[in-house]
């Protein structure tokens, strides 16, 4: 397990703090995602944890779409699997275990959600370049970091890395308790 405090990964044993009903009042997945995701899209929930956003993403893409729920920890993916088993979402959501040093996917996505996990990544520059490569030309990324883990100056450093990875800030949506940017492919580096 990564013991570096800045890059520590939320353990599976604490998954409950990421997935509880009261959180939906504070960070409603439907409200956060509906302007980015539409029916038929292929989307990636990167660092999906126990799937707080995954099921809503599946509702939004519908039967014609696809959601890849990706996480480094198999235990988190098992939580998502338990949530979708024997539901209509089992045909829409595909589980993917990331590798320790990369996401490990090659398909292209219309939308990528990176919620409360960039601060856990040891090599943010490499990670951002990889997710940029996974983005379709008109695709978008919603990147959200918790204010209690990531200072404003740290977030600005991450935005500089995003720019280096040829991702441009398209908007700065307001999500409670968070530092947030919506990113788009700036077309460079293609």
66 forms beta bridges with 42
d(CA 150, CA 186): 25
pLDDT of the residue at 76:
93
Task: Return the closest-CA partner of residue 49 out of 103, 13, 21.
Answer: 13
pLDDT of the residue at 27:
87
Q: Which residue has the tokens 């099921």?
A: 55
pLDDT of the residue at 2:
36
Structural domains of the chain, ranges and CATH numbers in brackets: 30-185 (3.40.50.150)
- Ordered per-residue pLDDT tens for the chain, 190 residues: 333 445 567 656 655 555 656 666 688 999 999 999 999 999 999 999 999 999 999 999 999 999 999 999 999 999 999 999 999 999 999 999 999 899 999 999 999 999 999 999 999 999 999 999 999 999 999 999 999 989 999 999 999 999 999 999 999 999 999 999 999 988 655 5
Q: Please count the CA atoms within 13 angstroms of the CA of 4 that sit on its side-chain side.
A: 8
SS3 92: coil
């Amino acid at each position: 397990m990564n013991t570096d405090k800045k890059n520590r990964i939320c353990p599976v044993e604490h998954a409950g703090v990421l997935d509880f009903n009261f959180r939906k009042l504070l960070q409603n997945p439907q409200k956060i995602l509906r302007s980015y995701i539409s029916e038929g899209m292929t989307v990636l929930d990167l660092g999906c944890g126990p799937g707080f956003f995954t099921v809503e993403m599946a509702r939004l893409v519908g039967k014609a779409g696809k959601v890849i729920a990706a996480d480094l920890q198999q235990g988190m993916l098992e939580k998502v699997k338990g949530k979708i088993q024997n539901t209509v979402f089992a045909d829409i959501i595909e589980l993917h275990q990331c590798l320790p040093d990369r996401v490990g996917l090659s398909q292209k996505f219309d939308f990528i959600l990176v919620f409360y996990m960039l601060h856990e990544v040891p090599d943010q520059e490499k990670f951002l370049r990889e997710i940029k490569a996974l983005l379709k030309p008109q695709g978008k990324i919603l990147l959200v970091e918790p204010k209690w883990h990531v200072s404003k100056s740290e977030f600005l450093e991450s935005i500089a890395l995003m720019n280096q990875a040829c991702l441009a800030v398209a908007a700065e949506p307001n999500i409670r308790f968070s530092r947030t940017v919506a990113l788009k492919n700036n077309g460079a580096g293609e």
